[in-house]
Amino acid sequence: MNRDQRQALALAGVFQAAVVVDELARTGRYDTRAWETLIKATVDPRPDQFADIYGDDLANLSVGINAARKLLDHPPAGSQVMRYMLSIQLLATRARKDPALMSQLGERLERIQQQAHHLGPTHDNVVLALGELYSDTLSTLRYRIVVKGDPELLKTPHMAERVRAVLLSGVRFSLLWRQQGGHRWQILLTRKRIKQTLDELRSSME
């Protein structure tokens, strides 16, 4: 797998997080496979190889791949998913500039990984721990992501922690995208190349 493909898949992970956050906030429902892929990627911060991040199956990122292909081609005005994707990218950029915060994220994720090993990566207690980690770290930055949806749904602790856990997953994929050489301006300047790479990856799934 070349660098363009790794970048495109990492970006698809950010889009997948944005889609799941939007679905959760509006309806309380989500694509189970997309959700599990995001959470599993987050509780395994140091995989042996790149493909392990998405379970070595491109179909696990199909929600993100399809959303990225659509929104990079013709982004509709006022798209919440596009807004969440860009907001996650900005939050990740702010986080990278705070070494103490990044260190805290790494230490806490290692403990959560041990918890996930015993309980399973998508156990409620693990998701709760991920949501609390987001609250204790990323939500303390000056820039915050405002999630819009059903106010009653978002008030429930269970749903709020799920949303925070997915936002954390989005930041994890955004940081991965930067590690693979991705840059914020690429989304605007090279979106045709990104979409072409995603199209090729999508074709390989069929």
pLDDT at 91: 96
Q: At residue 173, does pLDDT exceed 90?
A: yes
Q: What is the mean pLDDT of residues 88-92?
A: 96
Overall average pLDDT of the 2-10 stretch: 93
Higher pLDDT, 124 or 190: 124
Greatest distance between any 2 Cα atoms in the chain: 44
Rounded mean pLDDT of 58-85?
90
> pLDDT for 94-137, tens place per residue?
999 999 999 999 999 999 999 999 999 999 999 999 999 999 99
SS (H, E, C) the chain: CCHHHHHHHHHHHHHHHHHHHHHHHHHCCCCHHHHHHHHHHHCCCCCCCHHHHHCCCHHHHHHHHHHHHHHHHCCCCCCHHHHHHHHHHHHHHHHHCCHHHHHHHHHHHHHHHHHHHHHCCCCHHHHHHHHHHHHHCHHHCCCCCCCCCCHHHHHCHHHHHHHHHHHHHHHHHHHHHHHCCCCCCHHHHCHHHHHHHHHHHHHHHC
Asked which of 39-48, 144-153, 185-194 is least confident by mean pLDDT, the reply is 185-194
pLDDT of residue 85: 95
The stretch 18-46 carries a mean pLDDT of 94
Task: Residue 205: count other Cβ atoms within 10 Å of its Cβ.
Answer: 11
Non-local CB neighbours of 103 within 8 Å, separated by 6+ positions: none
Of the two residues 156 and 66, the one the predictor is more confident about is 66
pLDDT score recorded for residue 158: 86
Higher-pLDDT residue of 205, 137: 137
What residue segments make up the domains of the chain, in order of their start?
3-205
Asked if pLDDT for residue 206 goes beyond 70, the answer is no
Burial class (CB in 10 A: 0-12, 13-18, 19+), 112: buried
Percent of the chain with pLDDT over 90: 75
pLDDT, mean over the chain: 92
CA distance 108 to 111: 5
Query: Token digits for 104?
Result: 């805290």
Which CATH code, of 1.10.3890.10, 3.20.20.220, 2.60.40.3880, 3.40.50.1100, is assigned to 3-205? 1.10.3890.10
pLDDT the model gives residue 128: 96
The residue-averaged pLDDT of 149-164 equals: 89
Residue 22 sits at φ, ψ, to 5 deg, of -65, -45
Nearest-angstrom CA–CA distance, 39 and 22:
16
